[in-house]
A and B are shown apart, each in its own frame.
Chain A
Amino acid sequence: MYRSAVYDEPLFSEMISCAKGKLKPVDLLKNTIKRTTKLNIPDVDETQVVRHLHRLSQMNYCIDSGIYPLGSCTMKYNPKICEHIATWEKFVCTHPYQDISTIQGNLKIMFEFEKMLCEIAGMDSFSLQPAAGAHGEFLGMLLTQAYHQCNDDGKRNEVILPDTSHGTNPASATMAGYKLIEIPSTNNGTVDLDYLEKALSDKTACFMLTNPNTLGIFESDILEISKMVHDAGALLYYDGANMNAIMGIARPGDMGFDIVHLNLHKTFATPHGGGGPGSGPVGVKTSLEKFLPIPRIKKTKDGYYEFDYDVAESVGKIKEFFGNFSVILKAYIYISMMGRDGLKEASEIAVLNSNYMKKKILDSKRYTMPYKDIRKHEFVLSCEKLLHEKQIRAMDVAKRLLDYGLHPPTIYFPLIVKEALMIEPTETESKDYLDKYVDALIKIADEDSEIVKNAPNNTSVKRVDEVGATKNQILTWKMI
């Protein structure tokens, strides 16, 4: 049986501090800004620091602990070699403003990486600057604006999205100043073309779509959707969160998408770091290339790499320097290692694993799966049956999975599935693990409902009162 480490680990502020030295203010500074009070940073010895953070780490589940099938998050195993190489001093100790003759290695990687992404996504050009998927979406919206303004079509102020879209999509569009139009999905769980037709107008700037969508369903009408959107004079935006389903099989560029973002920390196996750093490169078709952030990287005839800042119509910068280079480097290593054959197989097996799990779980008849049957790399179950029969909610199932030592799926998303469990196993899980997960889900459905509702028990803390935390708002040591 799984058991998480349990420590009653104090906060740094509660540890016994060494005697503090006295602050010696710096004479040259004016009194208005001269520090005169000591900083309240605990002075603890190195052993204490290491043990404290070591123990905390032991109370944390991660991909190296086991399966982590969060839907739309693509938590695949992160090859150790990527991490190893990315810590080489030749990479980590370079300054972004160094003379370009001294950073040819970095520029070569970025230049070649852009080309790799262009090929994988079927786009003409990529910017590596965005630090995350949502950041890429925001850049996508800025590019959309620049494109329409350049065509004297700046009145387009609406962005259309399906009701299955990720929360970041509407948030990014709003941040860029767009009005949102959300359209419902069909009974199949796909874009409703009638609603789309009605929503499209000369006000539409862009239609944002994830394909396969967040239900794991491929939008088979994509070519028709693309035509409709373009006929209306709008652009088609691809949220690349689900790219792991189609690498080497189909490309957003060929589907008609004008702007694409990819998540390197999902599809290309870079670690998520408990929330980041990530990287969300944005690819475009030729018509939008001139708007991409600066600098662009160029290769001269004699194989020398240069930055090009002289791009008159560029939107400028979206992040300082060139993006999260350390993440880009790891993804470059991953793609080099996988190659065209490996990437395709990754997607094939990711989809196979998902369909295998889906079939086994549905055969058990404990869970239901609304909408169309054929799914890609992820699928979304509903716990409605358990709710009616045993008052067990998706949240309870998730918490009980923790007792089995398995990370729960994404829950309560997409919003159109009641009591949703959104499962994405990825290609890096073995059949054994998939079977184990399926068994656990079936067992939980058959367990006494009190056990499930009282879970988890084997974690470092029992079920946490998140509502209470919101009410109390204790966000720092001082507020305790």
Chain B
Amino acid sequence: MNLIPNSCLKDFMLKDIGLNKIDDLFLDIPKSIKVKELNLPLGLSQQETEKKLRKIACKNQSFNDILCFLGGGIKPHYVPAVVKSVISRAEFFTAYTPYQCEASQGFLQAMFEYQSLISELTGMDVANASLYDGATALGEAALMSIRVNGRKKFVIPRNISWEKKSVLRNYLKGSNVDLVEIPFDIKTGKIDLDYLKKNIDENISGVYIENPNFFGVFEDDVDKISQIVKNAGSLFIVGIDPISLGIAKSPGEYGADIVIGEGRALGNFMDFGGSSLGIFSCKKDFVRQIPGRLIGLAEDKNGKRAFCMTLQTREQHIRRGKATSNICTNEGLCAIAAVSFLSTLGGDGFENLSKVNFENAQRLAGKIKSVSGYKLMFSGVHFNEFVIKCDKDTDIINKKLLKKGIQGGLVIDNWFEELNNCMLFGTTEMHSESDFDALVSALKEV
């Protein structure tokens, strides 16, 4: 293997430019900081590398080795072979950001299609060409709401993932913004509407809700929430799981101003949590405040349809300190996966997928709660995750399940003290009836 073609021409090239040795190229680096030798092993051949990695890989158990019922905003979904084939085309995955649009029409058009598809799903006018993940998309949405109306308070439900909350706090550190948390109703698992009503005022830049929420429960009082938010003149921001939008309304239909979410489920693997795909879409009134890249339709000088990055004066490489965000590298390839995924499924296939996720979760929840010692915590209708309250210690249950080759739900009482012995289960189209039965019979035994 040789990844450095000119290493054999080194001396010739040096001589050609009037130098004697490689060190002559580094004379401007002070001697006192020159490295003698890095304390790393020597390089391996490709064959050795593969062998080494195979050994390491064996220390992992994948979704195909253990039955996994974890929730928490990330679950396995089927990735059609078409998606793998498309994103493994080097023309897409070894390209840089499409600065030179004439040589990047393919990527640009695919991203334009991505923006169109995401806008359709969310019911918004525009979507950007991706952010890092759902959590940072929330951070950017909060910052955007502050840019739009200059207010200094931001509202979130108490029941969002602790990781997301922490990312959001970090994104808001530079802006002196207060975070207000809305409690959840312990019976339904939905947002406490009365609390929201009482605590909203004209200092609030935006109100964020998730649909379905962290407990998997659909917030179905969205018309009321939307009205409360509008009355205060705040922006209404909705976080979605895109897969739910085959059976649930697009947030645009119930008055959202910004819709964000984690888009990994659209044709991407779990990848141990990364890569990821930050969805960001909004109404067109805010287009100049959008963070990140936007691809626009254009014409070439002969009037032929073309595509290019547009409204770049929002971005850091032009506007520097006054940019709408610092983001440069995004998650372009994951967005291409989303385009391949959605176009392979089509509208019918996507709606069906959504329904299967919903129905599987209803069925699994029904089966689990029929086992004594387990009950469904919340009465609200849930999508593909749900909270189960157990009679026994959840850590012990999970340890015992693991011995039977099953990864149980996500233990969530660390973050919600009132949810003692509660687990967040998740299921998707990847589980079959026999997988459910395996879990249920294991739960009976533990």
Contact = CB atoms under 8 A, between A and B. Distances in A.
A472 B296 contact: yes
Contacts of A218: 26, 28-29
Interface in A78-127: 78-79, 81, 83-85, 87-99, 101-106, 108-109, 116, 119-120, 122
B295 A96 contact: no
B85 to A, nearest CB: 7
Contact of B329 (A65, A275, A462, A480): A275
A30 B300 contact: no
B296 A470 contact: yes
Contacts of A248: 35, 37-38
Contacts of A465: 298-301
A404 to B, nearest CB: 11
A108 B56 contact: yes
Interface stretch (A54-62, A193-201, A381-389, A441-449): A54-62
A100 B52 CA distance: 21
Interface in A7-59: 9, 11-13, 17-18, 20-21, 23-26, 28-30, 32-36, 38-44, 46, 49-50, 52-59
A150 interface: no
A476 B127 contact: yes
B102 A275 contact: no
B297 A145 contact: no
Contact of A134 (B166, B262, B316, B350): B316
A475 B300 contact: no
A20 B332 contact: no
Given A131-B136, A246-B29, A320-B167, A105 B60 contact: yes
A467 to B, nearest CB: 9
Across the A-B interface, give the 3 residue pairs with the lowest CB-CB distance, nearest first.
A321-B273, A177-B174, A339-B43
B41 A95 contact: no
A209 to B, nearest CB: 14
A469 B297 contact: yes
B394 interface: no
B333 A274 contact: yes
Interface in B139-198: 143, 161, 163-164, 166-167, 169-171, 173-176
B320 interface: yes
B342 interface: yes
Given A46-B82, A95-B68, A29 B381 contact: yes
A252 to B, nearest CB: 10
Contacts of B70: 95, 97-98
Contacts of A478: 116, 119-120, 125
Contacts of A321: 74, 163, 272-274, 276
19 contacts: A38-B347, A64-B94, A73-B96, A89-B64, A94-B62, A94-B63, A220-B29, A271-B94, A273-B331, A275-B333, A276-B330, A276-B332, A277-B275, A319-B274, A336-B43, A338-B3, A376-B25, A472-B298, A475-B284
A111 B273 CA distance: 16
B58 A95 contact: no
A171 B109 contact: no
Contacts of A43: 346-349
Contacts of A105: 56-60
